[in-house]
Each structure stands twice: as C-alpha cells, then as structure tokens.
Amino acid sequence: MNILVLGSGGREHAIAWALYKSPKCEKLYVASGNGGTAGFAENVSGLNAEDGAAVLEFAQAHDVELVVIGPEAPLVAGVADVLREAGIPVFGPDAQGAQLEGSKTFCKEFMMRNNLPTAEYLSTDDEAAAHAYIDEKGAPIVVKADGLAAGKGVVVAQTADEAHEAVAECFKGAFGEAGNTVVIEECLTGPECSMLAFVSAGKAYCMAPSQDHKRAYDGDEGPNTGGMGAYSPVPIVTDDELARMEEVMAQAAAATAKEFDHDYRGVLYGGFMLTPKGPKLLEYNARFGDPETQVVLPRLESDLVDVMLAVAEGRPDDISLTWADKWAVTVVLASQGYPKAYEKGKVITGIDAADALDDVKVYHAGTAMRDGELVTAGGRVLNVTAMGPTFQEARELAYKACDLIQFEGKQNRTDIGLRAINGRSSWE
C-alpha cells in the first residue's frame, strides 16, 4: 500500500522507518521529510502539511491508502477531518480531539470532568486575575501559555516574581495568540515520565513508558529544549505506578468515546509526574512524543502498518502489540547554541559508521542534502538510538555511536539516563 507521513523531524524519521520495514508498505512518501528519510522514502517538498485540501489532493493523486500525521499543528488545523471525510484512513485525531494538546484549558477541563489525576489550576484571559492567583498560591508554581507554542511557553517558576514575569510575557504576546489565555498550575514534584497509547474506539493500547531530558546541559541545567535524549522503559517506575498510568490512559480513552463528536484515532500521549501521592497528569498530547518515539518504536516488534491501519479504521480489537525485551536509549546531537541561535549547513560525517553498529539506528531530526553532502538544517540534528539487553549496555552503545559522528559545533548531553541508573533518590 502507498503511505504518506506528514512531518520532517526525528519523530517522523522513526515512524517512517518502522512503516518502511513492513512488507505491506509498497510506496512511502514523507512531507517534507529530511536527509534521513530521503534514503528510503520519497521526500515531498512544497506540500503544506497544515493545508488539509492540499494534503487530500496529493493523497488522491498518488493513491495513498494511509496518512500518518506526525506533528501537532496539522492535527489542530483539522487535516485529519478533511482526509476522513474523503474516505482516506488517517492516523491522528480530528481537530476536536487534537484540542487536548491545542488548548491546555480544554485539556485541564477534560481531566477534571473525568476525574483524571492532575494539578490544581486556574485558566484565565484576565492578566490581573492571573497575578492575583499567583499572589494567593505563592511559589513554586507553573505558568503555561494556553495554546500551541512549539514546545515553549511553559515556565516552572521558583519565585512569585518569576511567575509574574512569565504571565506578563504571555500577555505581551511572546507566544502570539497562544498566550492570550494562561493556565497557572500547582507545581507537582517527582520524576517525569511519559506513557503513549494507541487509541481507537475508546480503547487504549499502552506502550512502554519513556523518559525525556528537556534541559540543554548536563545535570538538567540550562534552558528547556525540545528534548536532548530519552530512554525506554523507565527503571524507576514501580509496578503499582505502571498499572496506575495504564489505568489513567484507559480511562481517558474511554472518555474520548463518551465526549467527542467523532472517534479519537491516533496516539494519546500522557505526560505524568510520579508524585508521592501517585502518578499525576501534567498534560496530554495528541501525537507521538519527540524524542520518545525514537526509543519506543524501535522496541515494537508488531507490524506498525497493521497497528496504524487498525487504529485509523476504528478496529481496536485487531491491535496486537509485542515488544523486544531490550532497553533503548537515544542521545540528541544538536547544533552549537541550541536552543538559542545556531548556524546551519555544517557537513555531517560518520553516520554510516554509527549505523553499522549492531542495535544502533541514527534518526535524522534536522538534516538536509546540499550538493550531494549531508548537512545540518536544524537545532536538534540527529537522534542516536541504541538498544541493549541492559540499560547500561544500551546507554554505552549509544554514546559509542555518538562519538563516531562529527559536525562542526556538535553538542550533546553526556548524562542521558544517569539519574535512572542512580535510582529514585537522585530526584529528591
């Protein structure tokens, strides 16, 4: 069958690679793709992934039988709605379901209505009310822009002054319309953990938990980024916590079937905090995480085409998930200066040598081909993923592969996974 994947990052490379390995995948398109997907799929430049009509026209012209939407923006824009109305199976929720990510207020209200464990909060478009709430609750406290802010727009304020400043930035337009409403939340404590689930017809099929590293530098120092590394599963998660997270994901999936106008068909991403009172939700996202996908999908032994098509066609009882009994670790190689200003166009070498290592796969996040050479084209350039029979072996192999890859200004964290190895006490 012909398949179209929308997106251009490391997440989409990982999704596309898993689909490509299926014997059911005859022709694979990726719009717009990157230097990595160009090696096994047809990259489609010039197709606006947020334009439902344009995506539909391409899909119909190329006999596409499954569309997989990677990023959140096309979901919020309603691309899935247009495709489904035309009868094309699509992996990804409609615009209403995508509001779980598109509006933090919508998401918090959904959680509260359905008794899903989360932090106390205030949502308001009144700046004075926001400042008053901070004065009432004190710090630490969390300030979020309500809408999509490209992974930004969240401040964990340690002082009231910092929280007031974050609110002021939102209402000054730092995040555009996304900041016209703010959500202010109780600051939960504990390790963070993600659980993704395939959701269709109100049923959730949970994947293994994963853990992301958001800060730019070792020791969880520096600014927040889109993610500097991840691993799966998560050794500090207890059996009770795992069961509770799966229960919460199942409860949320059932709620989508009860509340939404149309079936939620895609991934539901639960961002959890493992608090002393049990797992609590920080957020829901409406798509695969990045870079969590790069450690979850490599462990999936089931045919991803079968799984995604069953989700897209509303056949949850046909979903069967089997996983490799291995650990996965990914390390992000980034451009110098990321997440602030950085240069592009640096020649990359050593990927073939890294990929040649057993149990290593290098996913491209921000690369492009220029005059026959692979060059950097983004802040997060590569996700170097390794699997192994133990966490330590997977981690060591990932860093061995990282050392083989070079480009001017390469930067990466050297401590991905160390906290997990050191145990729960390292978060206290």
Please report, for the domain that includes residue 7, its CATH number. 3.40.50.20
Same domain, 30 and 85: yes
Q: How many CB atoms lie within 10 A of CB 364?
A: 28
**315 within domain boundaries:** no
Contacts (Cβ under 8 Å, ≥6 apart) of 382: 10, 332, 333, 348, 351, 362, 363, 364, 365, 367, 405
Same domain, 25 and 82: yes
Per DSSP, the chain holds a count of helices (H) and strands (E) of 14, 22
* pTM: predicted TM-score of the whole model, two decimal places: 0.95
Contacts (Cβ under 8 Å, ≥6 apart) of 162: 139, 155
Give the closest residue to 265 by CA, choosing from 47, 55, 41, 66: 66
**167 within domain boundaries:** yes
Same domain, 150 and 89: no
**116 within domain boundaries:** no
Taking only the tens of pLDDT, the chain with its 428 residues reads 999 999 999 999 999 999 999 999 999 999 999 999 999 999 999 999 999 999 999 999 999 999 999 999 999 999 999 999 999 999 999 999 999 999 999 999 999 999 999 999 999 999 999 999 999 999 999 999 999 887 678 888 999 999 999 999 999 998 999 899 999 999 999 999 999 999 999 999 999 999 999 999 999 999 889 899 999 999 999 999 999 999 999 999 999 999 999 999 999 999 999 999 999 999 999 999 999 999 999 999 999 999 999 999 999 999 999 999 999 999 999 999 999 999 999 999 999 999 999 999 999 999 999 999 999 999 999 999 999 999 999 999 999 999 999 999 999 999 999 988 888 777 66
Residue that is written with structure tokens 């980034």 in the block: 334
Residue ending a domain, among 71, 94, 117, is: 94
- Structural domains counted in the chain: 2
What is the DSSP annotation of 301-336?
A: -S-HHHHHHHHHTT-GGG----B-S-EEEEEEEE-T
Dist. CA 186–CA 121, nearest whole Å: 6
CATH number at residue 174: 3.30.1490.20
**25 within domain boundaries:** yes
Please measure the distance between the N-terminal and C-terminal CA atoms of the chain and give it in whole angstroms. Answer: 50
**285 within domain boundaries:** no
Same domain, 73 and 136: no
Q: What single letter denotes the amino acid at residue 341? A: A
21 lies in which domain range?
A: 2-94
Contact assessment for residue 140 and residue 158, using Cβ atoms and an 8 Å cutoff: yes
DSSP 299: G
